[in-house]
Structure 1
Amino acid sequence: MVRAVVIRDVRTRILDAAEELFAGRGFEGTPTAVIAKLAKVRRDSIVDYFPHKIDVLVALVDERTHIEESRGVDAVPGDLTATLRRLARGLPLRASPSMRRILFREADTHGSVKERLTRLNGELVSRARFALGLALPGARGDAARLEVAAATFAAILLYQENLCQLTGHQIDPDAVAELIAHSLV
Structure 2
Amino acid sequence: MNTSASRRERILDAAEERFAGDGFAATGTTAIADQARVPKGLVFYYFPRKIDILRALLEERMPSAPLCEPAEVVRPGDPVASLVSLARRLGLGEHESVVLRTIIFRESGTHPEVRERLRVLRETILELTESVLDAAVEHVVDPVLRRQAAQTFVSVVMDEANARRYDGAVPDVASAASVIGAALAPPR
Name the TM-score, length of structure 1 as normaliser.
0.86
Deviations 1:37-67 (A, max 9, x none): 1111111111011000000000000000123
Show the 5 A alignment for 1:117-128: 117-128=118-129
Structure 1 residues 29 and 22 mapped into 2: Cα distance closer, same or farther (>3 Å)? same
Displacement, 1:133?
1.7
Alignment size in residue pairs: 181
The SS at the match of 1:75 is coil
Conservation of the 8 A alpha-carbon contact between 1:85 and 1:173: yes
1:57 has 2:58 as partner: no
Counterpart CA distance in 1 for 2:130 and 2:70 is: 13
Match of 1:47 among 37, 44, 48: 44
Aligned position for 1:181: 181
Counterpart CA distance in 1 for 2:14 and 2:140 is: 47
Deviations 1:82-124 (A, max 9, x none): 1111111222766622212211211222222122111111111
Stretch moving more, 166-175 or 23-32:
166-175
Counterpart CA distance in 2 for 1:165 and 1:87 is: 20
Aligned position for 1:91: 90
1:38 has 2:39 as partner: no
Aligned position for 1:157: 157
Deviations 1:147-175 (A, max 9, x none): 12212212322342321344633444323
Aligned position for 2:81: 82
Conservation of the 8 A alpha-carbon contact between 2:102 and 2:165: no
Stretch moving more, 109-118 or 85-94:
85-94
C-alpha RMSD of matched pairs (Å): 2.1
> Which consecutive residues of structure 1, in runs of 5 or more, have no partner in the other structure?
none
Conservation of the 8 A alpha-carbon contact between 2:70 and 2:132: no
| % same residue | 37
Counterpart CA distance in 2 for 1:183 and 1:10 is: 51
1:108 has 2:109 as partner: yes
Conservation of the 8 A alpha-carbon contact between 1:67 and 1:92: no
Equivalent position amino acid for 2:14 in 1: A
Counterpart CA distance in 2 for 1:76 and 1:116 is: 30
Conservation of the 8 A alpha-carbon contact between 1:84 and 1:177: yes
Counterpart CA distance in 1 for 2:165 and 2:61 is: 20
Conservation of the 8 A alpha-carbon contact between 1:64 and 1:95: no
The 4+ residue runs of structure 1 with deviation greater than 6 A are none
1:27 has 2:24 as partner: yes
